[in-house]
Amino acid sequence: MSAARAATEARGETFYQGASRVHLAAFPPKERWDDWVELSSRAWPRREEHHYMLVPTTCFNCESACGLLAYVDTGTGQVRKFEGNPEHPGSRGRNCAKGPATINQVTDPDRILYPLKRAGARGGGQWERVSWDSVLDTLAARIRTALTQQRQNEIMVHIGRPGEDGFTERVLASWGVDGHNSHTNVCSSGGRTGFQFWMGIDRPSPDHAHAKVIYLISAHLESGHYFNPHAQRITEARANGAKVIVLDTRLSNTATHADYWLSPRPGSEAAINLAVANHLIQTHRYDREFVRQWWNWAEYLQACHPGVAVTFEAFESILAGLYAEFTFEFAASESGIDADVLTEVAGVVAAAGTRFSCHSWRSAAAGNLGGWQVSRTLFLISALLGAVGTEGGTFPNAWNKFVPRPIYVPSHPGVWQDLSWPVEYPLAQNELSFLLPHFLKDGRGRLDTYFIRVYNPVWTNPDGLSWMEVLRDEDLVGCFVALTPTWSESAFFADYVLPMGHGPERHDTHSYEQYDGQWVGFRQPVLRAARERLGTPVTDTRQVNPGEVWEENEFWIELSWRIDPDGSLGIRRYYESPGRPGSKLTVDEYYGWMFSHSVPGLPERAAADGLSPLEWMRRYGAFEISSGQGALHGREVPASELSDVQVSSLGRVYTRAAAEAGPNIVPMGAPGPDSDGRRAVGVLVDGVVRRGFPTPSGRLEFWSSTLAGWGWPEQALPGYIRSHVHPSRLEGDQVVLLSTFRLPTQIHTRSANAKWLDELAHTNPVWIHPSDAARFGVRRTGDLVRVSTDIGYFVAKAWITEGIRPGVVACSHHMGRWRLDGGPRGAGGMMATVGLSRDASEWAMSRLASAGAHESSDPDTQRIWWSDTGVHQNLTFPVHPDPISGMHCWHQAVRVSPASAGDQHGDIVADTGKAREVYREWLALTRPAGSVSPDGTRRPRWLMRPLKPSEAAFVLPPAAQPEAQPEAQPEALPEDGA
Ligand code: SF4
C-alpha cells in the first residue's frame, strides 16, 4: 500500500483510484504520479511502456495560470509532454492549446541558452557570450552607484507577463526604488478603472457556473480574461440553461456560442449598458434593498443635491431621471443595433435577478477614449440587480484571490517615479508605460539601467519606432537589459540579453479569481522538483535548466546580494536566510517559509500526508484555501476591532489613530486609508458595522467623490463618453480599425517560439465587410490593402467577411513578427527578415525574406509550409492615452484602399514626428494634479498602485505646479455624450 493511500485511509476517507477532483478517467490520479505508465502509440501492436514521473507546475502562456503536469520520462530524465493538472482548483485538469505547447518552448531550437553581451553598436546584431558572474557584477556596480548617488529614478524594471504577485515590486522596494513599470496601460487598465471606482477593487470575479444570464463584453470563451477556467464554467452554466449575451463588434468564436450576439459600433457599449440600466430603473426591476444598503447614494445627495432631503425615496426619484435619456432608441442610434433587440436583451437581463454574471476587460474598455466607462456602466447593471457577491453574480476579485505574505516585506520607497506616474495622470490605473519614449524625449528624465522582463516594448506598444529611437540612444537609456527566454524585436537592441526560464523552469506563486473560492498555485522548475523527489538536492535552478538558463527569483536575490555586499545599504537584510544568519536566502527557504506561515490550512493538509508544506506544493502544485466565500462586504466587523474607532457622518468607521506604515504591498481588498492615514475598518449599515468595500465611503460608489474631487465632476457618475472613433469624429472616408483582438492559440509576443501554435495561426488579414470591400475597391480575399493611420500605413491582405460590421475593419494582435537583417534568427518559423530605412522622422520597413522552412536542431523546422506571418500593425499607431484611466485607446480611425503600385505585403511606414504631435494632442486632454489635486498630493492615496511609495513621496513638488506644465492645461473631453 502506498504512503498516500495509507494516509488517506488513516483519515477515514476512501482512497479514490481515479482523478480526485473531476472524476474523469482521462486524468492520471495523483496517487500514481510517481510512476505513471503509458503505452507507446508508435510501437503498436507491440506493448512498449513509457514510465513517467508527473510533476505539477503552472502554465505561463497567459494570465489564467492553469495547472500543468510535466511528464518527466524516468528513462531520459527529460520532459516528454505537458498536460493538465486535475488537482488544480481553477483549471481542473483542462488547458487550451497553449498549455501543452509549453513543450515547444522548452525544446525551441531558437531559444537563448547563455548570457549575451552586445558586441559593436546597439542593434547591430553582434553578441558575445559572457558569464553570469560578470553580468551580475557589472549590473550590481551600476545600480549601487546610482543608489549611492541618489539616482534611484534611473533604475526601472518593466514587466510584461508578471509571474508572482509582488515579487519584483518587493525587490525594487528593497532597493528604495520606485522603478516598477508594467504593460497594464496597453492591456486592461481601462477595464480595471471602471470596477475600481465602484468597488475599490479593480477586477470582477464572475460566478459564471451558477449564473442565469452571462453578459460578456469580450471574446471571453476563447481569449478573454481567465478564459479557460471561465469558459469551462460558462459551458456548465449553458448546460443548465443560462443565457449568454456577447457584445463584440467582430464575430468571435465566443459570439458564435452566444444566445444574443450584439455587434455594436466600437465605443457604443456604454450606451447599451446604460439603456439596460435605465430599463431596470424605469420598470422598477432593481433590488431596492441592495441599492439602499450598499450604494453611496446619501453621499451623492449631499454633494450634488444639497437642498434635497437625504432619503432613499428622494434618491430614487432623482435616479429615475438620471438615465432617462438612455432609451433603447438612443442606444440603437449610437450602436447600430435595433432597439427591439436591445429591448429583448434588457428583458433577459432583468429576469436574471442576482444570478447575473458579467465581465469586461480589454475589448471595448481598451479600445476607446472613455472606455473605462464601459466596465463602470456594466457594473451599474450588477449593482442595480444586487448581483454582487451572490451565487451566480459577480464578486470583487480580491475575495476570490489569495496572496500569501512573503518572509520579508520592505518598506515603501521614498521616491516617486514621474516617468511612470506623471503629474498629468493622477487617476491613472497603472503606469503610463507606453508614453516612456515621449517622456524621455521630452527630457523628463533618463534611465541608467532599464530591465525588461517577458516584455517586448518595441513590438507590443503602439508607436514602436519611437521606442526603437530611445532604446538606441545611450544618453537616454544607459544600459538596457532584456530578461527573456527568446529573442524579440526589443531584445535585439539590448546591451545584455539574459536567458530566463519558461513556465516549467522557474518559481512563482499566484492566485486568480476564477470561481467563488480562493486557491494558491505554485509554478516550479519541474526537473528540479523531479530530481529532489528522487533524493538529489538542487541548490540553483541553473543546475537543471538547459544551457545556463536561470529564473528571475534567484537572479534578483543574487543581484541584490551583490548590490549590497556588506549590508551598508540596508538591502542585504531582505535576502538573508532566516535559519543561517549571514547566508543568502534560497528559494526553498523563501517558499518554504511562505507555505508554512502564510497559507491557512496548508501546513495541516501537508502534515496529514506526511509532507512539509513546501513538499506538498512541489508534489501537487495548487492548494484550495476556501470555497463559497460569499458576500464578504456584508460580514459584521467583530467587536474586538471596534474598541477605539470613530464614525464619519456618512457611516464610514475608522480607527481613531493614523494607521502605522504598513507593507508596501497593500493586501488585495484591504480597506483603503483616508487622507489622514486612518485605516477604515468597516461601514455602518442599518446600525451594524459591516466590512463593506475598500472605497472611501465603504460602499459601492455610484458617485465617485474621487473623480469629482480630482477635476472630473462631470464623470463622477457611470456615464457615456463618446469614443475618439465615434462616427461624428470620423472624416468622410474613414472607418474604424479594431486592432485589439487576440487569437485563441497565440501568446502575444511569445508564441512565435511554439511551433504547434505557429502552425495553427500565423497571419492576420484585415477583416472587411463585403459592402466596405466594394466601396474600397477591394475585389477579393487575399488582395493587398493599404491601411492608413494618423502617422503612417501598413500593407496587409484582405479577408472579406460578414463577420465584421460595415464601417469597421479588424486586424488581430500577435502577428507580423520581424528581425533585422543580420541579427539572430529569433523565431525562424514566424519572424520575417526586414530592412529598415529612415528619412528624417519617417521610417520605412519592408520585408527582405519571409519566414519559412529552415535547418535547425528540430527537424520540424524543415516542414514549415507557411510564409505569410502577417503584419506588425502597432508600429503605425500613435499613442492615445485616456486622460483619466491612462489606458492606451487602441482603436484607430483609418483609411483603407487597394495597395498602391510597389506596395508589398508587410510594408510599414510610420512617422515618429507625427507621433509626437498626436502624443501632445492627447496630453492636452489631461487635468494635471497640480491643477486639480484637492490636498496637494499627486494621486489619491486609496487608489491602487502596484508599488506604493511612502506618504511623503505622494506630496506634489513645486515643479509640478501648473505653470511648469504649460502644455497640459485642463480641457474638456471632446464632445462628451450624455
Ligand atoms: S488558458 Fe491556456 S494559456 Fe492560459 S494558463 Fe490556461 S492553458 Fe495556459
User: How many angstroms is it from 759 CA to the middle of ligand 1?
Assistant: 18
DSSP 917-967: HHHHHHHTT---HHHH-SSSBSS-TTS--SS---TGGGBPPGGGSGGG-GG
Ligand 1 atom, smallest distance to 226 CA: 1
**Taking Cα atoms as reference points, which of 120, 27, 16, 104 lies closest to residue 60?**
104
Beta partners for residue 508, in sequence order: 523
pLDDT at 655: 85
Ligand 1 atom, smallest distance to 95 CA: 7
User: How many angstroms is it from 522 CA to the middle of ligand 1?
Assistant: 15
461 vs 456: CA distance, rounded Å: 8
Q: Candidates 64, 91, 454: which one to mutate for ligand 1, based on the most atoms within 8 Å of Cβ? A: 64
User: How many angstroms is it from 162 CA to the middle of ligand 1?
Assistant: 14
Ligand 1 atom, smallest distance to 64 CA: 5
Residue 518 · residue 601 · CB < 8 Å: no
Return the DSSP state at 888: B
User: How many angstroms is it from 24 CA to the middle of ligand 1?
Assistant: 20
User: How many angstroms is it from 593 CA to the middle of ligand 1?
Assistant: 28
pTM of the model: 0.94
User: How many angstroms is it from 98 CA to the middle of ligand 1?
Assistant: 6
User: How many angstroms is it from 404 CA to the middle of ligand 1?
Assistant: 22
User: How many angstroms is it from 106 CA to the middle of ligand 1?
Assistant: 16
Q: Candidates 60, 69, 88, 98: which one to mutate for ligand 1, based on the most atoms within 8 Å of Cβ? A: 98
Number of CB atoms found within 10 A of residue 860's CB? 15
User: How many angstroms is it from 231 CA to the middle of ligand 1?
Assistant: 11
User: How many angstroms is it from 62 CA to the middle of ligand 1?
Assistant: 5
Residue linked to cell 520532459: 79
**Taking Cα atoms as reference points, which of 881, 891, 890 lies closest to residue 431?**
881
Ligand 1 atom, smallest distance to 227 CA: 1
Q: Candidates 61, 222, 234: which one to mutate for ligand 1, based on the most atoms within 8 Å of Cβ? A: 61
User: How many angstroms is it from 360 CA to the middle of ligand 1?
Assistant: 19
User: How many angstroms is it from 96 CA to the middle of ligand 1?
Assistant: 5
210 vs 229: CA distance, rounded Å: 14
262 vs 866: CA distance, rounded Å: 34
Residue 352 · residue 285 · CB < 8 Å: no
Ligand 1 atom, smallest distance to 68 CA: 7
Q: Residue with the nearest Cα to atom 4 of ligand 1?
A: 62
User: How many angstroms is it from 517 CA to the middle of ligand 1?
Assistant: 19
Ligand 1 atom, smallest distance to 94 CA: 7
Ligand 1 atom, smallest distance to 62 CA: 4
List, run by run, the mean pLDDT of 10-residue segments along the chain (978 residues).
Answer: 63 54 68 92 91 97 95 97 96 96 97 97 95 98 98 97 89 98 95 97 96 95 90 96 98 96 98 98 98 98 97 98 98 98 98 97 95 98 98 96 95 96 98 98 98 96 98 98 96 98 96 94 98 96 98 97 97 96 96 98 97 98 93 95 91 76 41 63 96 96 98 98 98 95 87 94 97 98 98 98 97 93 89 96 97 96 96 98 98 98 97 98 98 96 93 87 43 41
Ligand 1 atom, smallest distance to 99 CA: 7
Q: Residue with the nearest Cα to atom 6 of ligand 1?
A: 66
User: How many angstroms is it from 513 CA to the middle of ligand 1?
Assistant: 14
User: How many angstroms is it from 202 CA to the middle of ligand 1?
Assistant: 22
**Taking Cα atoms as reference points, which of 62, 195, 244, 270 lies closest to residue 977?**
270
Q: Residue with the nearest Cα to atom 1 of ligand 1?
A: 228
User: How many angstroms is it from 744 CA to the middle of ligand 1?
Assistant: 10
Ligand 1 atom, smallest distance to 228 CA: 1
Q: Candidates 57, 69, 85, 96: which one to mutate for ligand 1, based on the most atoms within 8 Å of Cβ? A: 96
Ligand 1 atom, smallest distance to 96 CA: 2
Contacts of the segment 26-35: beta carbons below 8 A, 24+ positions apart? 26/93, 27/84, 27/86, 27/93, 28/54, 28/69, 28/86, 30/4, 30/86, 30/87, 30/620, 31/2, 31/4, 31/5, 33/69, 33/619, 34/533, 35/74
Residues with CB under 6 A from ligand 1: 59, 61-62, 64-66, 91, 95-96, 98-99, 227-228
Q: Residue with the nearest Cα to atom 2 of ligand 1?
A: 96
User: How many angstroms is it from 445 CA to the middle of ligand 1?
Assistant: 38
777 vs 797: CA distance, rounded Å: 14
User: How many angstroms is it from 506 CA to the middle of ligand 1?
Assistant: 17
Give whole-number Cα distances, 952 to 318, 690, 913, in Å. 41, 31, 38
pLDDT at 977: 34
Ligand 1 atom, smallest distance to 98 CA: 3
Ligand 1 atom, smallest distance to 91 CA: 6
Beta partners for residue 81, in sequence order: 71
Give whole-number Cα distances, 926 to 427, 859, 877, 884, in Å. 10, 54, 20, 7
pLDDT at 962: 46
User: How many angstroms is it from 268 CA to the middle of ligand 1?
Assistant: 30
pLDDT at 165: 85
Ligand 1 atom, smallest distance to 61 CA: 3
Return the DSSP state at 187: T
pLDDT at 676: 60
User: How many angstroms is it from 622 CA to the middle of ligand 1?
Assistant: 15
User: How many angstroms is it from 843 CA to the middle of ligand 1?
Assistant: 37
Ligand 1 atom, smallest distance to 102 CA: 8
Q: Candidates 57, 58, 59: which one to mutate for ligand 1, based on the most atoms within 8 Å of Cβ? A: 59
User: Coil, helix or strand for 418?
Assistant: coil
Q: Candidates 68, 81, 88, 95: which one to mutate for ligand 1, based on the most atoms within 8 Å of Cβ? A: 95
Q: Candidates 226, 228, 454, 814: which one to mutate for ligand 1, based on the most atoms within 8 Å of Cβ? A: 228
Ligand 1 atom, smallest distance to 84 CA: 7
Residue linked to cell 516617486: 416
Ligand 1 atom, smallest distance to 100 CA: 7
β-strand pairing of 678-685 with 652-658: antiparallel
pLDDT at 964: 43
Measure CA 288 to chain center.
Answer: 35
Q: Candidates 58, 60, 62: which one to mutate for ligand 1, based on the most atoms within 8 Å of Cβ? A: 62
